[in-house]
Amino acid sequence: MSKHSPAPKIYLINLDKSKDRLLNCHTILASQQLSFERIPAVLGDALTTAQKHQHYSETLNNRNYYRPLSNGEVGCYLSHRAAWQKIADGDAPYGIVLEDDIAINGNMHLAIDTLDTLHMDWQVIKLSAYQSRTRPIVFSQPIGNGFDLVIHNKPMTGCAASAITKEAAKKLLAQSTKFGRPVDVDIQHFWESNVEVCSLMPYPISQDMSYQSTITQRKGKAGKRFWQRKIQQLTTYFLNKRHIAQQVAMAKKS
């Protein structure tokens, strides 16, 4: 990123009813002199049938996922699409998208400075892990300020905190004009959108586990799609393995 580029904006996804979370996020971000723009989260249960199916496709869901998405998952996806649109329409080379159940672990200015001076192409960088889960690392490169740029053997789940470039936001929007999987699962299928995913470690942000997600509620059983799920998992495993290997090979050359 050029040092003359506009500063990245922080976009916080927050439901209108979750005023306590908004206040908490304002407090923790203000403690580091960070401002943000609030993205009103989409309440899935309040969507009309037409609104729900403007982007959510039952056809794609039946083909690509093992169960129907909950209203909360549809609302979550639409909320992130709104954030991506802000990044795509903005002047900054990238933006940071946060959900409202976060905690800050360290110096966010240092993390942002590290991203600003990163001398390699990137598209999506995870700044937090879903519920602090871990995953095997297949590539790691020190990038200064005590941070490593990491590629996991599979992109991390969750969308609590991510840095997303303007180009990546446009690609994600184009790929999700119609969607049938949860937003983080679609991002994991990065070979479909051509948007590669890395992580900044140690993560500068974590999920505040005292909160239960209000943006998305995952529920539902596989039912008759049990074997469909197993086939999808096997297919995804081999596709992910191949494309992660390609991503690592390119990272080693940069």
Name residue 56's amino acid.
Y
Instruction: Please tell me the chain's helix, strand, coil percentages from 3-state DSSP, rounded to the nearest 5.
Output: 45, 20, 35
Residue 174's domain comprises 9-253
Give the chain's domain count. 1
Cβ atoms of residues 184 and 159 within 8 Å: yes
Give the tens place of pLDDT for each residue, 139-195. Answer: 999 999 999 999 999 999 999 999 999 999 999 999 999 999 999 999 999 999 999
Phi-psi region of 220 (alpha: psi -120 to 50; beta: other; left: phi over 0): left
Please give the order of strands across the beta sheet that includes 9-14: 37-40, 9-14, 94-99, 161-165, 124-126, 197-201, 147-152, 137-144
E strands present in the chain: 9-14, 37-40, 94-99, 102-104, 124-126, 137-144, 147-152, 161-165, 197-201, 205-207
Name the percent of the chain lying above pLDDT 70: 93
Phi-psi region of 90 (alpha: psi -120 to 50; beta: other; left: phi over 0): beta
User: How would residue 211 be classed by pLDDT, with cut points 50, 70 and 90?
Assistant: low
**Is residue 105 one of the residues assigned to a domain?**
yes
CA dihedral angle for residue 242, residue 243, residue 249, residue 251, rounded to 10 degrees:
-160
Residue 110 has pLDDT above 90, yes or no: yes
**Is residue 142 one of the residues assigned to a domain?**
yes
177 half-sphere exposure, CB direction, 13 A CA radius: 4
**Is residue 4 one of the residues assigned to a domain?**
no
User: How would residue 131 be classed by pLDDT, with cut points 50, 70 and 90?
Assistant: confident
**Is residue 225 one of the residues assigned to a domain?**
yes
**Is residue 248 one of the residues assigned to a domain?**
yes
Model's pTM, two decimal places? 0.93
Structure tokens at 167: 């180009």
- Rounded Cα distance, 170 and 167, in Å: 5
pLDDT at 254: 82
User: How would residue 91 be classed by pLDDT, with cut points 50, 70 and 90?
Assistant: very high
Mean pLDDT of the 212-238 span: 73
- The domain spanning residue 123 has which CATH number? 3.90.550
**Is residue 3 one of the residues assigned to a domain?**
no
Residue 218 has pLDDT above 60, yes or no: no
**Is residue 118 one of the residues assigned to a domain?**
yes
**Is residue 181 one of the residues assigned to a domain?**
yes
User: How would residue 208 be classed by pLDDT, with cut points 50, 70 and 90?
Assistant: confident
- Rounded Cα distance, 120 and 104, in Å: 25
